[in-house]
Structure 1
Amino acid sequence: MTRSALTKHSRAAALEAMTSGEPLDILVVGGGITGAGIVLDSVTRGLTTGIVEMQDWAGGTSSWSSKLVHGGVRYLYNLDFKLVAEGLRERGLLLTKTAPHLVKAQPFLWPLKQPVIERAYSALGIGLYDAMAVVGHRGMAVPIQKHYSRAGVQELFPDVRADKLVGGIRFYDARVDDARLVMTLVRTAASFGAHAAARTQVVDYINEGGRVVGADVIDLETGARHTIRAKRVINATGVWTEDTEALGGNEGGLQVLASKGAHVVIPKERISGDVGLFLRTEKSVLFIIPWQRYWIIGTTDTPWDEERLHPVATRADVDYILDHANDVLSSNLTFDDVIGVYAGLRPLVQPGTKDGGAASTKVSRDHTVVESTPGLTVISGGKLTSYRLMAEHAVDHALGETQAKRKPSVTPDTPLIGAPRLEAITRQAPQIAARYGWDKARMEHLLSRYGSDLNTLLELVDADPELGKPLESAPAYLRAEVVMAVRYEGALHLEDILMRRIRLFFEQRDRGVSALEEMAQIVAPLLEWDEQTVRREVSAYAEMSAAEEAALGTMTDAEAEAARLAVADLVPLAELEG
């Protein structure tokens, strides 16, 4: 087993290493995109580093985003040039150096409703967007804007209603499987020696003499309690920030609100178009994004006041999204067209701190870093695109100016697993496809998930040719991909696979329930499950799926949350102690 493999056994070894050895240089709390970026940034500076996450990797916000890597063209309306420049620079790095297998350039159409004035100022804005991308990345990562007449727009996107525009501008951003990016960041950090343990919850911070020097954690898989000592702790827990930072014993720290974003998934053949659509709404923006087999449409942006562990979409959310999409599409989408729905929470950082002071370091208008208690650095806010920069800021802040200069971040030049030698294996794709009997679409799918790490999957298939066959109930995926999820990608439960590795949760109408038995038979020997455990895993996912369906039949957040929480979690969380 390679050092980069996240497994049941590597998790146990990581917990043992974090709790029995010398204090870590840095302990990262939170395994979403921000925490995953921080653990890679820290370990590649030569610091002994560990990371714990109370759910699966990307179990919260970071698996339910719009799945976009973007500079934020809409921020130009607010003259937020610094924020846009940061995002475009990070987008360029991901597309060309650090994760080109996971992050793909995506053309979007900006519809124009007025022939002269709107085209002029939109062209200026998108032109500035392109120019900032070139300057920030020192070269072209995506093509520049192109203008279209009404007829040209309809050739690009036949389902756009002709009465809703006079033309359009095509510009580029990028898309990514958010959960895979998080998992790959953690795997990459592990390959450099970081200790990583999911399903491990911090229940209290160790405070000695007014300074945080570690954390008490509970292994949610076994119930065992451990103490992890660290010279510095970085809290990156998103919408749970106020709960977790309070464990440090200080009433200060960041104030974070939660905003719900919901998305719907539509079959690819239901909408006729070759690009994505970018639409401004009365509340925010709506993206219509093409993927290989479906479209993702979203998002909503509404306050969330319910329990934060399981945000769910309502029928009202779906109707809102479909109404706005149908306003510009001739597809006449209905609820019956929807094959998947998901919702997530975005952490919105409020100005200042809870004790009334200003944050000690506000490194961006989009995210904030503060030392809420000596030894405890807290970061929140931001967006997926800027995770690497946020991580750099957090580690710099935790180390202090002098130490940060001695050990600067190297992540701009650190490719993630699957990125090295990507071009070579991409050129070999036709021969690989012929050898294993896979078509071009299958190869595109595999390369976009594994990149050069596809060789690891091929080794599995060579050892057992049965793994090279598609899943019967989900033929877009190979049986080997289930094995990869367990043997290399840290999946401990069926829900980890179905929700964040092989994402049938929103890609199939039944949320993948029809694939449960087949997947369970593949996974059981790998995780040493007996028949009782198999039945518990299958039942838990099926019941959760039914609860999500029930929530979708409601009209309010409170009703939806009540329906979802009617089913208990397979791995329940512990009570916080601070």
Structure 2
Amino acid sequence: MTRTGALSPQSRDLAIGTMVGAAGETELDVLVVGGGVTGAGVALDAVTRGLSTGLVEQRDLASGTSSRSSKLVHGGLRYLEMLDFELVREALQERGLLLNTLAPHLVRPVPFLYPLTNPVWERAYIGAGLALYDGMAAFGPLSGLGNSGLPRHRHLTRRGVARIAPDFNTDAITGAIQYYDAQVDDARLVMTIARTAASHGAHIATRVQVTGFLREGERVVGVRARDLEHDQDLVIRAKTVVNAAGVWTDDIQAMVGGRGALHVKASKGIHLVVPRDRIRSESGFIVRTEKSVLFVIPWGRHWIIGTTDTPWTYDLAHPAASKTDIEYVLEHVNAILREPLDLEDVEGVYAGLRPLLTGESDQTAGLSREHTVVTPLPGLVLIAGGKLTTYRVMAKDAVDAAAHSLGTTTNMTLRDSITDKVRLVGAEGFETRSNQRVLLARRSGLHVARIDHLLGRHGGLIDDVLDLIQERRPLALPLEGAEDYLAAEVVYAVHNEGARHLDDVLERRTRISMETFDRGVRAAPGVAKIMAEELGWDDRRAKEEVDHYLRRIEAERRSQLQVTDEEADRARLEVEDLV
């Protein structure tokens, strides 16, 4: 355990050794299965309540749904229209907590235009909804003094829209309302939550696959697992196992035996990434489609455009975007632009799966984003559903549900959750370092824009990255083929952020794979060389990592030329994962 919760190769081995224990004598209070945002949140909630806690993830942190979202921290306007006021209120309160207290270094405001086509009733209707939206955010129990941390909405004429967004086609609208939500790099949020949990004593181990459950009668008392890095079988005992496996929930339930207590349907959403200069606008957009809503979201020097909402019944680890999906998004975004986008404008494409609780509707867009927690067996808690914004509430509910199992086995009284007060690593000192950005630039020899970039990714931990550069000046160089990132960030990802493979860095610790036209192909050899030096890879291993990444990118490109999901899935699965 370190103050900053460094997730190094050594910390992983120590975590596994501690969870397994000497001759299997160790028993955790809580073992979390799943390293997405919900699982990381559960680990943080449990450990900060004084429970001995472990977390295992079969791949990388946030390697599934939690790195492939729209990257928004928001209340959800469409849920307001569905009259799901409690879900919207809860999400807006969590947005405020993240923005103002827990993760101000990662979560930042983002403006959106909501275009209007009717000059009277629609402006009144949408305006009233956004007034309620702002009010829920500002006057909830966690906001304090009516301050949500974001500007209130404002009404714009058609001319006002043209000034803010010259490339928005205003011919068919009467004006717009501009409102604010927030955004976050979802993968970095998950990694930061996991690091925060580790800093408080949680044991975090990726590339550990659960293969079965330990039972004593009806009670679940732990798991059997496989350390994929060292090809070893493990036995991890725990008083309570919390399954936070998202779209894999049904698979995990099958291991327990019997009928599943929860049923999750996977809904695919795809996003396109295009350069910022392709759309001139100071604001993002939100536009209704016949099935859902389309977001055009500012993302640094890029735009993220999405999403779709369609059932997915194929491989859960690697959902594929088809040609049909891509054309659907382009068609709908081009309907609101003066200059249409085409395939040559697209830098990146990514697809993710939402874990939706199944209901009576066959349409995934109609299924609830609310979460459910159940305890089908003593010692086992299942949590599914929900959304990125409300991860902390989901985690609290899951640990609350574990209280009964813990109480019957240890006679302990579970303390209340305190994660609304626990700032994530990097939040401390962020404001001070932001004020010192010019001074940091002078001391480090980096441009102020580089300092801003590092602050937005590491917050108050920027000192650790700058210390690396001070000790090893070549690490101040930008990466070849991905000049937005520095070599130091790769080294830091290996020793502090749990990166074990090349794609961990190119896809999740950075977003090179979606922010470059070649999807990280040119950057891959250089990044692999840096990782090889830090992880002790030989030339063969480094070459294998690069070759695998290049083949995977090529498989993704082929999948995006296919018309159907089945064809896209088959093309993507031509390349298997590296262990």
Partner-residue secondary structure (3-state), 2:187:
helix
Partner residue, 2:463: 455
Partner residue, 2:371: 367
Partner residue, 1:558: 566
Partner residue, 2:105: 101
Letter in 1 for 2:16: L
Matched, 1:377 2:371: no
Partner residue, 2:137: 133
For residues 96-138 of structure 1, give each alpha carbon's deviation from its aligned partner in whole angstroms, at most 9, with x where no partner exists.
0000100001111111111010000100000000000011222
The verdict on how the C-alpha distance between 1:402 and 1:491 changes in structure 2, with shifts beyond 3 A counting, is closer
Letter in 2 for 1:95: L
Distance (Å, rounded) in 2 between the aligned partners of 1:243 and 1:277? 38
Distance (Å, rounded) in 1 between the aligned partners of 2:404 and 2:172? 54
Partner residue, 1:498: 506
Partner-residue secondary structure (3-state), 2:128:
helix
Distance (Å, rounded) in 1 between the aligned partners of 2:283 and 2:457? 21
Partner residue, 1:32: 36
The verdict on how the C-alpha distance between 1:367 and 1:134 changes in structure 2, with shifts beyond 3 A counting, is same
Partner residue, 1:19: 20
Contact 2:221 2:241 in 1 (8 A): yes
Partner residue, 2:454: 446
Partner-residue secondary structure (3-state), 1:109:
strand
Structure 1 counterpart of 2:473, from 465, 468, 479: 465
Root-mean-square deviation (CA), in Å?
A: 1.5
Contact 1:40 1:189 in 2 (8 A): yes
Partner-residue secondary structure (3-state), 1:514:
coil
Contact 1:207 1:249 in 2 (8 A): no
Contact 1:248 1:373 in 2 (8 A): no
Partner residue, 2:220: 212
Partner residue, 1:51: 55
Partner residue, 1:61: 65
Partner-residue secondary structure (3-state), 1:400:
helix
Give the Å deviation of 1:334: 0.5
Distance (Å, rounded) in 1 between the aligned partners of 2:291 and 2:369? 20
Partner residue, 1:515: 523
For residues 59-88 of structure 1, give each alpha carbon's deviation from its aligned partner in whole angstroms, at most 9, with x where no partner exists.
111010000000011111111100000000
Partner-residue secondary structure (3-state), 1:101:
coil
Q: Number of aligned residue pairs: give it.
A: 560
Give the Å deviation of 1:442: 1.9
Partner-residue secondary structure (3-state), 2:522:
helix
Matched, 1:262 2:262: no
Give the Å deviation of 1:402: 9.8
Give the Å deviation of 1:444: 2.1
Give the Å deviation of 1:522: 0.9
Partner residue, 1:389: 393
The verdict on how the C-alpha distance between 1:197 and 1:406 changes in structure 2, with shifts beyond 3 A counting, is closer
Moved more, 244-253 or 559-568: 244-253
Structure 1 counterpart of 2:207, from 176, 199, 206: 199
The verdict on how the C-alpha distance between 1:102 and 1:365 changes in structure 2, with shifts beyond 3 A counting, is closer
Q: Among the aligned pairs, what percent are the same residue?
A: 52
Distance (Å, rounded) in 2 between the aligned partners of 1:13 and 1:45? 22
Give the Å deviation of 1:436: 2.7
Contact 1:89 1:133 in 2 (8 A): yes
Unaligned runs of 5+ residues in structure 2 are: 361-367
Distance (Å, rounded) in 2 between the aligned partners of 1:78 and 1:325? 24
Partner residue, 1:419: 427
Partner residue, 1:6: 7
Give the Å deviation of 1:461: 0.6
Alignment of 1:108-147 (within 5 A): 108-136=112-140, 137-138=143-144, 139-147=147-155
Partner-residue secondary structure (3-state), 2:192:
helix
Give the Å deviation of 1:422: 1.1
Partner residue, 1:86: 90
Partner residue, 1:180: 188
For residues 149-204 of structure 1, give each alpha carbon's deviation from its aligned partner in whole angstroms, at most 9, with x where no partner exists.
00001111111111121111111100000000000000110000100000101010
Give the Å deviation of 1:309: 1.2
Unaligned runs of 5+ residues in structure 1 are: 353-363, 572-578
Partner residue, 2:363: none
For residues 290-328 of structure 1, give each alpha carbon's deviation from its aligned partner in whole angstroms, at most 9, with x where no partner exists.
111100000000000111111011111111101100111
Partner-residue secondary structure (3-state), 1:6:
coil
Give the Å deviation of 1:374: 1.6
Distance (Å, rounded) in 2 between the aligned partners of 1:545 and 1:68? 26
Distance (Å, rounded) in 1 between the aligned partners of 2:340 and 2:451? 33
Partner residue, 1:575: none
Partner-residue secondary structure (3-state), 1:322:
helix
Contact 1:311 1:344 in 2 (8 A): yes
Moved more, 370-379 or 248-257: 248-257
